[in-house]
Chain A
Amino acid sequence: MRVGSSSRDAIGHVMTWLCGGTLALDLLLITGLAAVLAVNGASHFWPRPLVELRLAGGAKLLGAVVEREAIPDDPNGGYRIRVHVGNRDLGGQDFRWIDEREIASRGEPADAVALERLEWGAFYGRMVALRRAETVLAQGQDAARAAFEPLHEAKRAELAAIEELERGEIARSSAEIERLRLAARRLELSESSGAERAASEADLAGRSAAANAAYERAAARLSALRESFLAETVELEAADGTRKEIPVGHVVRVVRPNELGMAGRFALAFSRAAEFVSGVPRESNTEGGIFPAIFGTVLMVFLMAIVVAPFGVLAAIYLREYAKEGLLVRGVRIAVNNLAGVPSIVFGVFGLGFFVYGVGGSIDRLLFAEALPAPTFGTGGILWASLTLALLTVPVVIVASEEGLAAVPNAMREGSLALGATRLETLVRVVVPAAAPGILTGVILAMARAAGEVAPLMIVGMVKLAPALPVDGAFPFVHLERKFMHLGFHVYDVGFQSPNVEAVKPLVFATALLLVLVVVATNLAAILLRNRLRSRLGPRSIG
């Protein structure tokens, strides 16, 4: 007896260890992934010191050391370093490998500056002078440095004014011109004739002339602004002595990393991170921020949730509360479960065929005929992407909601019915509230799934660079037909489609980290909501 039971206990212990070990491994993998993303992503924002290297041959270079490794297959066991030398407009190459044995001297000059620019990436060198056309505003390092700051601030303000003008007046008047063009086209397509038609034609022509004039005026102002924006240049000297003039307006930020203390570095990293999160991409997505991608992802997921929640929940309620158990219901359940296993790209193809060409094409023919052949809804857009994802995730919501409903004890339903409540009242007031945490869990899972899904979106409206956000100040404010950017696709695009893969690697990590953060934040919000529901329902609630 004793022996037998203790050996059975031993098996139990092994099992416990096995389960615990597996869990530990899972946690390790997850935290490891998060740590890799966080560390590599953070390195995108952290300012590295600028090193000036004098090589044995006499050449000089200035840049940031990114990595150091043993030279492969080197019998002497030498090391080499990879230096980010920037200055793409001069040298063409962002990175250089340097054999450490070739380095004659190495220093971190305090006056070395790193320029972040709107074009051509970083520039490493020293400031020489500040000019406006032929006039020298400041000559020499210290003078240039002192004069640069206020000038740069003024240029930033001018840039803001330019953007404001572009987004405001220019955008408005070109939208107006387009609207009038469409109105004219509609008139052309319509059956009307005679004096009335002539009158509206004349009216339209007059208004369109006015709109064109307004546009011209705004465009003239814009080009004047642009000219003044580019008037001043800063002259820089690269490590090898080459000089380069850069418009002050094109400078995003001047950093002297070798002068920075710890606090300064943190401040810089935070300001870079803030720009990354809130800015728009530049240089075919390899620089600048990713705000449109964050916005697109979040908006798309929320649109999807708004669609999928009622559909999934109502379907689950029908299956669980109303449908009679039978062959049909079982068949539907099996079909729903299998739907969850269909490759997501298939949903994308379906979305393209059904939503984009089918529904969108019909909408265009009925409501936007004057714009044809240019499609309005008959092309990929955020609405179709959300609907496609809703289709993809509806099984998740159905299954979770059904489980939530099934967990509500029958006694609860009978208790309500016995008080004279109808079935609908029972459902609405007792059953669904009691199942709400379970239902919400389903919606959370669906949102997490949707946020990470990329493949189907590539053919229903996601783009590398969207010209405008799907929500803006122009009527009707939410433009569901617009194409949008997405963090997942951004990772793919930046990581694999950009010309300079090495330079953007940290960006890929940072973007991936942000995607994870967006998913986590969405989930967290939903989980908090669910817990509040649960605690309101009390200690023994269901789901």
Chain B
Amino acid sequence: MTMPPPHHAAEESLLSVEDLSLWYGASRALDRITIGIPEHRITAFIGPSGCGKSTLLRCLNRLNDLVDGVRIEGRILFRGSDVREPTLDVNELRTRIGMVFQKSNPFPKSIFENVAYGPRIHGIRQRAALEEIVERSLRGAALWDEVKDRLDASALGLSGGQQQRLCIARAIAVEPEVILLDEPCSALDPIATARIEELMQELKRRYTLVIVTHNMQQAARVSEYTAFLYLGRLIEFGETPRLFVEPREKQTEDYITGRFG
């Protein structure tokens, strides 16, 4: 078996991060990270709290642009073109790279309007087309059967797990190519978590998924590739079974066996 280059998957990358460093003001949150994320796979980011997982994820759809005092160096290539190019349309980028947040954040609107929000933004006006998209997205997020009778009810009346699936439905309604999930199950019970994990297996046929998680079992269960970050640096990246069974780095081994800190 030939060894893959240390920080790249064996397959071709859809998103490749090259030598990325990020500072919040004077403090460095990411330190020369290089990583390649393959298409139609689930890639998990693990690592202790504060190591920069969310920061790295938010670089991919340039959500960090909004934070005051951020400085970024390095390159992020999405299908070969640099996402940090000044001429690039950041709204289009975010349409193609969707995101689901750690804490579910439905809009204070109806369930229907939440899902229809993205398509509306992108110019779809006809009611019939919107209804079709909403149903497809809610089915895709395994929420349709639970809410089909109350699409006009407020999204804030849903349970936490339902809200998180609604956020997933909202993200897939704009048909992105990549979905970034930042600890999507951290506030959910085991059953809701299992449903979302199932869902991710469904979704990976059509989308490329990147998931941040604190739950090692979850990373092991759902992902094909895993990256371990520590103090802003990428310690190890590789196929999930290999990384969990025979980690190459001592720090990785300590972390996944719970002998950390």
Contacts and interface: CB of A to CB of B under 8 A. Distances in A.
Interface of A: 324-325, 409, 411-412, 414-422, 425, 429-430, 433-434, 536-542
- 8 closest A-B pairs by CB: A538-B154, A420-B95, A538-B156, A411-B105, A537-B108, A418-B99, A419-B118, A415-B105
A418 B98 contact: yes
22 contacts: A411-B101, A411-B103, A414-B63, A414-B66, A415-B170, A416-B117, A417-B63, A418-B94, A418-B99, A418-B101, A419-B98, A419-B121, A420-B93, A420-B95, A421-B117, A422-B91, A536-B154, A537-B108, A537-B109, A538-B155, A538-B157, A539-B154
A421 B101 contact: no
B209 interface: no
Given A417-B63, A420-B94, A433 B105 contact: no
Given A415-B167, A418-B63, 12 more contacts: A324-B68, A412-B107, A414-B63, A414-B99, A415-B107, A419-B171, A419-B174, A420-B91, A420-B122, A422-B91, A429-B121, A538-B156
A340 B66 CA distance: 33
A433 B109 CA distance: 9
Contacts of B21: none
Most buried by A among B91, B93, B122, B171: B91
Contacts of B98: 418-419
Contacts of B101: 411, 414-415, 418
A381 B152 CA distance: 48
A414 to B, nearest CB: 6
A254 to B, nearest CB: 60
Contact of A537 (B66, B99, B154): B154
| B interface, size bucket | 20 to 34
Contacts, number: 81
Nearest to A426: B121
B150 to A, nearest CB: 12
Interface in B38-74: 61, 63, 66, 68
Interface of B: 61, 63, 66, 68, 91-95, 98-99, 101, 103, 105-109, 117-118, 121-122, 154-157, 167, 170-171, 174
Contacts of A541: 108, 156
B156 A540 contact: yes
B118 A420 contact: yes
Contacts of B171: 418-419
Given A429-B117, A537-B154, A538-B156, A419 B170 contact: yes
B108 A434 contact: yes
B94 A539 contact: no
Given A324-B68, A541-B156, A421 B107 contact: no
A542 B106 CA distance: 13
Contact of A419 (B94, B109, B154, B157): B94
A538 B106 CA distance: 11
Contacts of A430: 107
Contacts of B93: 420
Nearest to B65: A417
Contacts of B95: 419-420
Most buried by A among B108, B121, B157, B174: B108
A538 B63 CA distance: 27
B108 A420 contact: no
Contacts of B121: 419-421, 425, 429
Contact of B156 (A414, A425, A539): A539
B174 to A, nearest CB: 6
A418 B179 CA distance: 10
B134 to A, nearest CB: 14
A123 B9 CA distance: 104
A433 B108 contact: yes
Contacts of B105: 409, 411-412, 414-415
Contacts of B174: 419-420
B253 to A, nearest CB: 35
A412 B61 CA distance: 16
Nearest to A434: B108
A433 B157 CA distance: 18
A296 B146 CA distance: 54
A429 B93 CA distance: 20
Nearest to A543: B108
Nearest to B158: A538
Given A411-B105, A433-B108, A417 B66 contact: yes
A417 B117 CA distance: 11
B219 to A, nearest CB: 23
Nearest to A409: B105
B63 A416 contact: no
A425 B119 CA distance: 13
A416 B107 contact: yes
Most buried by B among A414, A538, A541, A542: A538
A434 B103 CA distance: 18
Contacts of A324: 68
Contacts of A411: 101, 103, 105
A538 B94 contact: no
Contacts of A538: 108, 154-157
A434 B107 contact: yes
Contacts of B103: 411
A536 B113 CA distance: 12
A420 B156 contact: no
